A and B are shown apart, each in its own frame.
Chain A
Amino acid sequence: MIFTQLDYAIFFAIVGLTVAAGFLGSRWRAPDFSKIAEWTLGGRKFGTVIVWFLMGADIYTAYSLISVPGAAYSLGGFILYSAVYGSVSYPFLYIVATKFYRIAKRHGFITAGDYVKYRFNSDLAALLVSLTGIIAMLPYIALQIVGISYVLNAMGFPVLPSYAIAYLIVAAFVALSGLRGPALSSLIKDVVLWAVILTVVIYIGTNLGGFGPVFAQLGPSHYLIPNKLMVGYITLALGSGISWMLFPNLLVGLLGSKSEDVIKRNSIFLPVYQVWLIFLAIMGLVALAQNLVPNGVSSLAFPSVLETYFPTSFVVLAFAGIVIGSMVPAGLQSLSAASLITRNIYVAFINRNASEKQQVFWSRIFVFVVIIASLIFAMVPAASGLIFFLLTFSYAWLLQTLPAVILSMYWRSLDKYSVILGWLAGTVLVTYGLFTVGFSGSLLPWFYNIYVGILGLAVNLAVLLMAHVVVRSLKMPIYAPQDLE
Chain B
Amino acid sequence: MAANSRTIIKIVLLIVVPWVFLIFSAPLYNRKDPELFGWPFLWWYLFLWVFIQPALTYIVYKFIDRGGEV
Known: A91-B56, A220-B32, A268-B58. 18 other contacts (CB 8 A): A80-B42, A80-B46, A88-B23, A90-B53, A91-B13, A91-B14, A91-B57, A92-B14, A94-B61, A215-B38, A223-B42, A224-B32, A230-B30, A261-B68, A268-B61, A271-B50, A275-B47, A282-B43
Contact of B57 among A77, A84, A90, A237 (CB under 8 A): A90
Contact of B42 among A210, A225, A275 (CB under 8 A): A225
Q: Closest B residue to A279 by CB, please name it.
A: B47
Known: A90-B57, A238-B23. A274 touches B50 (CB 8 A): yes
Interface flag for A267 (CB, 8 Å):
yes
Interface flag for A265 (CB, 8 Å):
yes
Provide the residues of chain A in CB contact with B3, threshold 8 Å: none
Provide the residues of chain A in CB contact with B54, threshold 8 Å: 90, 268-269, 271-272
Q: Determine chain B's interface SS by DSSP, over half rule.
A: helix
Known: A230-B27, A238-B23. A94 touches B43 (CB 8 A): no
Q: Mark A59-90, 1 if CB is under 8 A from B, else 0.
A: 00000000000000000010010011011101
Provide the residues of chain A in CB contact with B57, threshold 8 Å: 90-91, 94, 267-268
Nearest-Cβ distance from residue B32 to partner chain A, whole angstroms: 5
Q: Closest A residue to B15 by CB, please name it.
A: A92
Q: Closest A residue to B10 by CB, please name it.
A: A95
Q: How large is the interface on B (under 10, 10 to 19, 20 to 34, 35 or more residues)?
A: 35 or more
Q: How many residue pairs bridge A and B at CB < 8 Å?
A: 110
Q: Mark B2-22, 1 if CB is under 8 A from A, else 0.
A: 000000001101110011001
Q: Closest A residue to B47 by CB, please name it.
A: A278
* A191-222 at interface with B (beta carbon < 8 Å): 210-213, 215-216, 220
Q: List 27 A-B contacts (CB under 8 A).
A: A80-B46, A83-B47, A84-B23, A87-B50, A88-B19, A90-B53, A90-B54, A91-B13, A92-B14, A94-B60, A211-B38, A212-B35, A212-B37, A212-B39, A213-B38, A215-B43, A223-B40, A223-B42, A223-B43, A224-B30, A225-B26, A230-B26, A234-B23, A237-B26, A238-B19, A241-B18, A241-B23
Q: List 3 A-B pairs, minimum CB-CB distance, nearest first.
A: A212-B38, A91-B14, A87-B53
Interface flag for A35 (CB, 8 Å):
no
Q: Closest A residue to B21 by CB, please name it.
A: A87
Interface flag for A264 (CB, 8 Å):
yes
* A251-270 at interface with B (beta carbon < 8 Å): 261, 264-265, 267-269
Verify B40–A224 contact, CB threshold 8 A: yes
Q: How far is the CA of A224 from the CA of B15 in the complex (A)?
A: 25
Q: Closest B residue to A275 by CB, please name it.
A: B50
Interface flag for B24 (CB, 8 Å):
yes
Q: Closest A residue to B24 by CB, please name it.
A: A234
Contact of A220 among B19, B40, B46, B60 (CB under 8 A): B40
Interface flag for A33 (CB, 8 Å):
no
Provide the residues of chain A in CB contact with B32, threshold 8 Å: 220, 224
Nearest-Cβ distance from residue B12 to partner chain A, whole angstroms: 11
Provide the residues of chain A in CB contact with B58, threshold 8 Å: 268
Q: Closest A residue to B62 by CB, please name it.
A: A268
Q: How far is the CA of A84 from the CA of B56 in the complex (A)?
A: 15
Q: Closest B residue to A214 by CB, please name it.
A: B38
Interface flag for A233 (CB, 8 Å):
yes
Provide the residues of chain A in CB contact with B19, threshold 8 Å: 88, 238
Q: How far is the CA of A267 from the CA of B58 in the complex (A)?
A: 9
Q: How far is the CA of A92 from the CA of B17 in the complex (A)?
A: 11
Known: A220-B40, A223-B42. A87 touches B49 (CB 8 A): yes
Verify A264–B38 contact, CB threshold 8 A: no
Provide the residues of chain B in CB contact with A274, threshold 8 Å: 50
